[in-house]
Amino acid sequence: MRKTIAAQPPASLASTLRQTLALASPAGVFRHFLRHREILREFTRLEFTGRFQGTQLGMLWSLITPLITLGVYTFVFSVVFKTSWSGGGKGGVTEFALALLAGLACFEVVAGSAARGATLMAENVNFVKKVVFPLEVLPVSVALALCAQSLLTLGLVCVARLVTGDGIPETAVLAPLGYVPLALLASGLGLWLAPIGVAAKDVGHMVTAFMQLYFFLTPIVYPLEAVPERYRFLLAANPLHVVIEHFRRTLLWGQAPDWTALGLTSLVALIFALLGFAWFMQLKKVFADVL
């Protein structure tokens, strides 16, 4: 990859910035994916259904896996360490479990997109070699498929609310708004990491290690209020925390969204995804030479 890049004539900083801004144009990116919507739809479907293809239980694994994880974390953090939530609900183990499930649903989208993004080009060398194939569709299709899978997990939250007699709050109709920043964050991560994964094969291991750290730096198994106040603003600025809190507020606690936080997070996620798209498009021309 270094040889290929070195062989190209150096571009001025102004020229590079103009090219990046042109590629990151929201209207241009929207039109680009609109042209390739059929490919995007098909690869999202294949990514969603192919995850459990050939298994005996099929799609049921998308529910069994988070439930097992939920059981372990609920026991350790709610029963052993006595962590609890009181964010507008009744508290207790049930409240903790549902708040945790909402957090896990969002985290798996981001973690899955990052992990797959780091190895995606190497897994699809046959598409990389095809000059006309829109490779940028692959990381986005992974993010969308993971978002669709998270819907099943969040559906369990709603079912649990009905079973416990609490019912689904009216604010639940606003819950899908959380998928705007979530899908943008996940897509952006995949677009940023895919070119890095082409050049550095170790990036997949680095992403796995970082995501383990990121999990505990995000208020998923503990409420933000449990963090010492002098560090609280750092965790509150985490975009994923805002998304998770949005789902908890609207699905569990019957509270209106924090429109300011949701709007700012969506804007940051949009910029992150657009710059990731520009980064990917500028480097994808050398993928075939490196792989």
**pLDDT, tens digit, 9 for 90 and up, residues 16-62:** 677 777 788 999 999 999 999 999 999 999 998 877 665 555 566 66
If we measure between CA atoms, which residue out of 159, 218, 212, 200 comes closest to residue 291?
200
Domain count, the chain: 1
Q: Which of 99, 182, 115, 105 is nearest to 151 (CA)?
A: 105
Q: Is 14 a member of any domain? A: no
Q: Name the residue among 161, 184, 185 with its Cα closest to residue 101.
A: 161
Q: Using alpha carbons, select from 285, 278, 291 the residue that is nearest to residue 8.
A: 285
- Which pLDDT score, from 0 to 100, does residue 38 have? 96
Tell me whether residue 28 is in a domain: no
E strands within 103-181?
Answer: none
Whether pLDDT at 2 is above 70 = no
pLDDT number for residue 82: 62
Average pLDDT over residues 69-80: 69
- 186 found inside a domain: yes
- pLDDT higher than 60, residue 9: no
81 pLDDT exceeds 90? no
Distance between CA atoms of residues 128 and 175, nearest Å: 37
Q: Residue 18 domain-assigned?
A: no
| Residue 65 pLDDT level (bands cut at 50, 70, 90) | confident
Cα separations (Å) of 49 from 1, 52, 100, 145? 34, 6, 26, 9
259: three-class secondary structure by DSSP: helix
Domain membership of residue 10 (yes or no) is no
pLDDT digits (tens, 9 = 90+) for 104-136: 999 999 999 999 999 999 999 888 887 789 999
Residue 11 lies in a domain: no
Containing structural domain, residue 175: 35-290
For residues 231 and 224, give the distance between their C-alpha atoms in angstroms, rounded to a whole number.
Answer: 10
Tell me which residue of 123, 158, 159 sits closest to 141, measured CA to CA: 123
- Residue 95's nearest CA partner among 223, 186, 264, 277 is 223
Please give the share of the chain, as a percent, with pLDDT higher than 90: 52
pLDDT of residue 86 exceeding 60, the answer is: no
Distance (Å, whole) CA 252 – CA 139: 31
Q: Each residue of 238-268: pLDDT tens digit? A: 999 999 999 999 999 999 999 999 999 999 9
Please, which residues have CB within 8 angstroms of residue 41's CB and are 6 or more apart in sequence? none
173: nearest Cα among 263, 254, 267: 254
> Considering the domain boundaries, does residue 9 fall inside one?
no
Residue 30 lies in a domain: no
> By the 8 A CB rule, do 91 and 85 touch?
yes
- Least confident segment among 77-81, 184-188, 204-208, 287-291: 77-81
Q: Report the candidate in 106, 259, 109 with the shortest Cα–Cα distance to residue 171.
A: 259
Q: Over the chain, what is the mean pLDDT?
A: 85
Residue 169: pLDDT above 70? yes
Question: Residue for token digits 């750092």?
Answer: 234
- Neighbour count for residue 64 (Cβ, 10 Å): 11
